[in-house]
Amino acid sequence: MVGEVLPVVPYRQLVFTIPRNLRRPFLFDRSLYGGFCRVAYSSTRDFLRRQATGTFRRVDRAVPVMIASPQSFGDLIVHNPHLHACVSLGLFRPDGVFLPLEDVDFSGLEVIFRERLFRMMLRHEKVRPETVERMRAWEHSGFAVNFERKIEPYDRKGLEGLLSYMERAPVSLRRLTYRQDDGMVHYQGTRFHPRLGTDHQLLPALDFLALLIPHIALRHEILSRSYGAASTTFRRKAGWIQDPPVRRPPPRAKTTSSVGPAGEGEDDPMPPPSPSDSKPAVSRPPADEPEDPFTRKRRRNWARLIARTWVEDPELCSRCGTRMEVLAAISSPAQDGVIEKILRARGEWDPPWKRSRKVRGPPHSTPASRDRGRDHPPEDWSEAVDPPHPEDHPDPQIEDGWEG
């Protein structure tokens, strides 16, 4: 992302959180995280467009850069669905021109995000309409959008650290201890949890595994999503696939007050960081600096990524162990025909679309579940977002089992 996708512009970390009584559906339906990400992106995009209206021209099709990573865990591995996002402080027009919005206040984003998430939950029938109306009357909605952290344009190490934090694992092995004497698992948190009243977890091994299992990603589940100017479609149309603006900033649009009557001089390169800034400025590379051999070698990311993923260096010969010399590079999809010929000659041609697939039946359903409408309460109250009200069931046995 940092080396080939994200342009050199300032970024802001956004953390979207939801109230507790809307978190239970995410525990049993992980597909809701995709809708969560789409709601967060559409809310942020429209909010930034409103902020840019009147300051820049042609903002109706401008989009921000947004990398969204939903997380289902909190500090003590408790179930806490929330979303971390890295958003550019500005918008990009389809031609790649940047509309800077560095002084934007994101405090108004919470209201837009809350209403759109309500509509998404109602559409999936994960919450009842009366529950939504009751939550709208709350003095404190339970929704929050944190936007404290800012990443400067040339702070690429800070940007890489933020993306790594967004995709971190639910458990830190440095804070995990297994006690062999009594079979208990101790997990130390980084802060005090006000609801649990502790800063650590001390559980039997099976209970700890039960606490961890809901946070394991499903097969083919997307853990990080790219929206707006970070999507492949936008980057291809703007010409960023061949020449990504990761070493020099993209052209920046001027405000409407500084644009001439004919629109000349509207695009301008981003100025360098001000030396009078209170924060330590990140050094800016020269604009026309030629690439040295080390930089050219560093841009060959394929070997580094394979070594990081499979813990095996692909440039080492499997027979003698010496480092091989790269004679030619074959890329896909431009040279798929060459790849197929080589694999057929080696007898290793086995594309996934020609493999036999296991036949699956239709999903299990009952007439009662298909006919169950939004106005009828579910038969099993454990699937509902909030517990039943005593007036819904006058049976005293149900009233005694209701925990409020």
* Lookup: tokens for 198: 């502790």
Q: Collapsing DSSP states into helix, strand and coil, what is residue 121?
A: helix
Name the residue ranges covered by the structural domains of the chain. Answer: 11-173+218-235
In which band, very low, low, confident or very high, does the pLDDT at 22 lie, cut at 50, 70 and 90? very high
N-to-C CA span, the chain:
46
Q: Look up residue 80 and give its two tokens.
A: 């806490």
Sign of CA dihedral 14, 19, 25, 28: positive
Residue-wise pLDDT tens digits, 219-267: 888 889 999 999 999 999 999 998 899 988 999 888 776 555 544 445 6
**pLDDT band, very low/low/confident/very high, at 208 (cuts 50, 70, 90):** very high
pTM: 0.66
**pLDDT band, very low/low/confident/very high, at 268 (cuts 50, 70, 90):** low
pLDDT for residue 279 is more than 60 = no
Q: Distance between CA 399 and CA 58 in Å, rounded?
A: 59
pLDDT band at 62 (very low <50, low <70, confident <90, very high): very high
Of the candidates 65, 85, 77, the one whose C-alpha atom is nearest the C-alpha of residue 17 is 85
322-341 mean pLDDT: 80
Give which of 372, 390, 392, 83 is closest to 227, Cα–Cα.
83
Partners of 184 in the β-ladder: 179, 204
Phi, psi of 396 (to 5 degrees): -65, -25
The per-residue b/e assignment along 346-367, b for 16 or more CB within 10 angstroms, e otherwise, is eeeeeeeeeeeeeeeeeeeeee
pLDDT of residue 144 exceeding 90:
yes
Lowest mean pLDDT among 127-131, 305-309, 358-362: 358-362
CA-based max dimension of the chain: 80
**Hey, CA dihedral for 281, 287, 291, 297, is it positive or negative?**
positive
Question: What secondary structure does DSSP assign to 273-299, as a single string?
Answer: PPTT-SSPPPPPPPTTPPPPHHHHHHT
Alpha carbon distance 254, 269 (integer Å) = 10
| Alpha carbon distances (Å) from 151 to 14, 126, 340 | 12, 36, 44
Per-residue pLDDT band for 349 (boundaries 50, 70, 90) equals: confident
Neighbours of 314 (CB within 10 A): 13
| Amino acid occupying residue 312 | E
C-alpha to C-alpha distance for 3 and 160, rounded to whole angstroms:
9
